[in-house]
Structure 1
Amino acid sequence: MPLQTRQQLVARIRADADQCVKCGLCLPHCPTYAVDGGEAESPRGRIALLQRLADGDRTPDHSVTRHLDQCLSCRACERVCPAHVPYGRLFDTGQALLAGHVPARARRRRRSAWLLHRPALRRFLLRALFLVQRAGITRALGGLLAGTRPGRWLHALPRLPWPHEARDRAIATAGADVALFAGCLGDSVDRPALNALRGTLETAGYRCTVPRGQTCCGALEQHGGATDAASRAIAVNAAAMATAAPAHIVGIASGCTAWLQDAEQEDPARPFAGRLASPWPLLLERATTLSFDTFAERIAVWLPCTQRNVVRDEADMLRVLRSVPGATIDVLPDSDGCCGASGLHFLEAPARADRLVAPIVAAIRDRAPDRVLCANVGCRLHIGAALRAAGAEVPVVHPAEWLAGRLGVR
Structure 2
Amino acid sequence: MNDMPLENPRHRIAVLADQCVQCGLCLPVCPTYTVDGNEAESPRGRIAIAAALARGAVSSSAELREPLDHCLGCLSCERVCPAGVKYEELLVETRGLLGTAPGRPGFLLEIVKRPWLNRLAQRLARWSGVRRWPGLALPAAWRAGLAFVKHGGSLAAYGKLGRPHPNPLLPSRGGGRATLALFPGCAASVLDAEAERAAETLLTAAGYNVARLPAFCCGALDAHDGATRAAEAAAERVRQSWAEAQADYLVTVTPGCLSTLRKVLPTARVEDPYSLLVEQIDSLSFRPLRMRLALHVPCTQANVARSDAALLKLLQRIPQLELQRLPAPPYCCGAAGSHVLQFPQRAEQLRESVLAHIETLDVQGLLSSNIGCRLHLAAGLEEKASRLATLHPLTLLAQQWIPS
Indicate the TM-score class for this superposition, using the shorter chain for normalisation: 0.7 to 0.9
> Which residue number corresponds to residue 276 of structure 2?
282
Residue in structure 2 matched with residue 362 of structure 1 by the alignment: 356
Q: What is residue 183 of structure 1 aligned with on the other side?
A: 185
CA contact (8 A) 1:106 1:226 kept: no
SS at match of 2:251: strand
Name the SS for the 2:188 alignment partner.
coil
Matched residue count: 382
Give 1:211's aligned residue: 213
1:144 aligns to what SS in structure 2? coil
Q: Which residue number in structure 1 is paired with residue 164 of structure 2?
A: none
Q: How does 1:76-91 map to 2 (within 5 A)?
A: 76-91=76-91
Structure 1, 106-115 or 74-83: larger mean CA deviation: 106-115
User: Matches of residues 372-387 of structure 1 in structure 2 within 5 Å?
Assistant: 372-387=366-381
1:81-126 CA distances to partner (integer Å, 9 max, x unpaired)?
A: 1111100000111111112xxxx63895765543344333332222
Deviation at 1:263, TM superposition (A): 3.2
TM-score for both structures, normalised by structure 1: 0.86
Cross-structure match for 2:222: 221
Question: Structure 2 vs 1, CA of residues 290 and 170 (structure 1 numbering), >3 Å: closer, same or farther?
Answer: closer
Identity %: 37
| Aligned amino acid, residue 105 of structure 1 | A
C-alpha displacement of 1:131? 3.5
Please say which of residues 387-396 and 284-293 is displaced more in the overlay: 284-293
- Residue of structure 2 in register with 1:64 after alignment: 64
Q: CA deviation at 1:209?
A: 1.8
- Cα distance, 1:340 vs structure 2: 0.5
Counting only pairs closer than 5 Å after superposition, residues 140-179 of structure 1 correspond to structure 2 as: 140=133, 143-161=135-153, 177-179=179-181
Contact (CA 8 Å) 2:152, 2:375: kept in 1 or not?
A: no
Following the alignment from structure 1 to structure 2, what is the Cα–Cα distance between the partners of residues 195 and 385? 24
Where relative contact order (Cα < 8 A, 6+ residues apart) is larger, the structure is: 2
What CA distance in whole angstroms lies between the structure 1 residues aligned with 2:362 and 2:224?
A: 35
Change over 3 Å in CA distance of 1:169–1:294 after alignment to 2:
closer
Partner of 2:116: 120
The aligned runs of 1:9-158 (5 Å cut-off) are 9-99=9-99, 105=101, 108=104, 111-132=107-128, 138-140=131-133, 143-158=135-150
Aligned residue number for residue 352 of structure 1: 346
Work out whether residues 22 and 44 of structure 1, in 8 Å CA contact, stay in contact via their aligned partners in 2: yes
8 Å Cα contact 1:197-1:252 kept in structure 2: yes
Q: 1:267 matched to which residue of 2?
A: none
How big is each residue's C-alpha offset from its partner over 1:178-211, in whole Å with a ceiling of 9 and x where there is no partner? Answer: 1111110233211111111112222223221212
Deviating beyond 6 angstroms after TM superposition, the runs of 4 or more aligned structure 1 residues are 168-171
- Structure 2 CA distance, aligned partners of 1:69 and 1:87? 14
2:387 maps to a residue whose letter is E
Q: CA deviation at 1:222?
A: 0.4
Letter of the 2:270 counterpart: L
Q: Determine if contact 2:293/2:363 at 8 Å carries over to the other structure.
A: yes
Contact 1:302/1:331, CA 8 A, preserved across alignment: yes
- Cα shift at 1:148: 3.5
**1:297 correspondence with 2:291:** yes
Partner of 1:394: 388
For structure 2, list consecutive stretches of 5 or more residues without a partner in the other structure: 155-168
Contact 1:28 1:34 in 2 (8 A): yes
Q: CA deviation at 1:12?
A: 0.4
Q: Which runs of 5+ in 1 are unaligned?
A: 163-167, 265-269
The Cα of 1:170 is off from its aligned counterpart by: 11
Tell me by how many angstroms 1:161 deviates.
3.8
Q: In the alignment, is residue 251 of structure 1 matched against residue 243 of structure 2?
A: no
Judge conservation of contact 2:170–2:201 (CA < 8 Å) in 1.
no
TM-score normalised over the length of structure 2:
0.87
Q: Residue in 1 aligned with 2:195?
A: 193
The residue type paired with residue 264 of structure 2 is: A
SS of 1:319 mapped into structure 2: helix
AA of the residue aligned to 2:20: C
